[in-house]
């Protein structure tokens, strides 16, 4: 069966050449994206995705951000899922880029978009039964600035971290910020459970302002679990009781091991149950 995408409101075959060589997302990384989960016939947390995407477009001084609201994201997702006959569960990505024109200085601040969707066989958020094996990526640190909290099309640090992951047969990789403190992982936000408290890098540490991060922090607090957003020294990894990660597509994943350290998964398992109850 052919696979389709939505390019600026037009349904096109995924194999069709719709991006031109002057696309600014391609030439300059001048764009943003959202990875989302379509679950049981509903786009999960569409309002939070829309809010972050709109904030990112405003930060990049792109026009057309008003259009990218929760209703629009839900409608384009539903349409593309139907077109591809994906059923009730899918993974969805929308990429927004500035219109062509200019070199580093754009001549047009309008925006375009492309939406992609692929089938998922899971109708709930599931965690790896064995847990992840991870390590710390030290070849390159993530810069801390106001763009760090968005999912921009400049993903080179994650690409290099992905190569490190493959070379070392890992499931995920922890990324440090420019000051050497914990920031996030290659694919997700990071949470550390230590001395009966949950810690996560503050947004001021340069991590992506994750949608699932926001949801999980809210769930934890509603269940009287204390969450502290902080600057976290990587030395805590050797003392922590649990490590887990969050992202909008995979939900919550627990890290079982890092170097010779092994971790429990009681808190992440509880929060996963709460997440699937929403």
* Residue indicated by tokens 């039964």: 129
**Residue 1's pLDDT band (cuts 50, 70, 90):** low
The answer as to whether 167 is a domain residue is yes
One domain, residues 9 and 106: yes
Question: Of 82, 97, 119, which closes a domain?
Answer: 119
Tell me the residue range of the domain where 226 lies: 132-276
One domain, residues 139 and 272: yes
Q: In this predicted structure, what is the pLDDT of residue 2?
A: 61
**Residue 175's pLDDT band (cuts 50, 70, 90):** very high
One domain, residues 164 and 265: yes
The answer as to whether 125 is a domain residue is no
Question: Of 55, 86, 119, which closes a domain?
Answer: 119
- The CATH number covering residue 17 comes to 3.30.470.10
**What letter would DSSP give residue 99?**
P
| Alpha carbons 35 and 246: distance in angstroms, whole number | 13
* Residue indicated by tokens 């569409």: 46
Burial 111-143 (b: 16+ CB within 10 A, else e): bbbbbbbeebeeeebebeeebbbbbebeeebbe
pLDDT digit string, tens, across residues 115-133: 999 999 999 999 999 999 9
Residues whose CB is less than 8 angstroms from the CB of residue 156 and which lie 6 or more positions away in sequence, other chains included = none
Question: Of 71, 93, 119, which closes a domain?
Answer: 119
């Amino acid at each position: 069966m052919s696979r389709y995408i939505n390019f600026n409101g037009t349904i096109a075959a995924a194999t069709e050449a719709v991006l031109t060589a002057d696309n600014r997302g391609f030439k300059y990384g001048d764009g943003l994206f959202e990875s989302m989960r379509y679950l049981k016939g509903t786009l999960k947390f569409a309002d939070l995705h829309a809010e972050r995407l709109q904030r990112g477009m405003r930060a990049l001084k792109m026009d057309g951000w008003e259009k990218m609201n929760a209703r629009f994201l839900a409608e384009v997702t539903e349409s593309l899922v139907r077109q591809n006959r994906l059923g009730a569960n899918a993974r969805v990505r929308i990429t927004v880029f500035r219109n062509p024109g200019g070199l580093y200085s754009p001549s047009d601040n309008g925006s375009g978009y492309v939406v992609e969707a692929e089938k998922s066989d899971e109708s709930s958020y599931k965690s790896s039964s064995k847990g992840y094996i991870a390590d710390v990526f030290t070849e390159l640190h993530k810069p801390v600035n106001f763009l760090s909290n968005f999912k921009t099309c400049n993903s080179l640090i994650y690409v290099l971290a992905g190569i490190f992951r493959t070379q070392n047969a890992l499931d995920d990789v922890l990324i440090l910020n420019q000051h050497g403190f914990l920031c996030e992982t290659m694919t997700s936000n990071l949470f550390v459970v230590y001395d009966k408290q949950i810690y996560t890098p503050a947004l001021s540490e340069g991590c992506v302002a994750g949608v699932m991060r926001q949801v999980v922090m809210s769930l934890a607090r509603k269940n009287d679990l204390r969450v502290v957003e902080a600057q976290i020294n990587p030395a805590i990894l050797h003392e922590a009781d649990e490590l887990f990660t969050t992202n909008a597509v995979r939900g919550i994943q627990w890290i079982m091991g890092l170097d010779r350290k092994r971790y429990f998964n009681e808190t992440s398992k509880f929060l996963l149950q709460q997440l699937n109850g929403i």
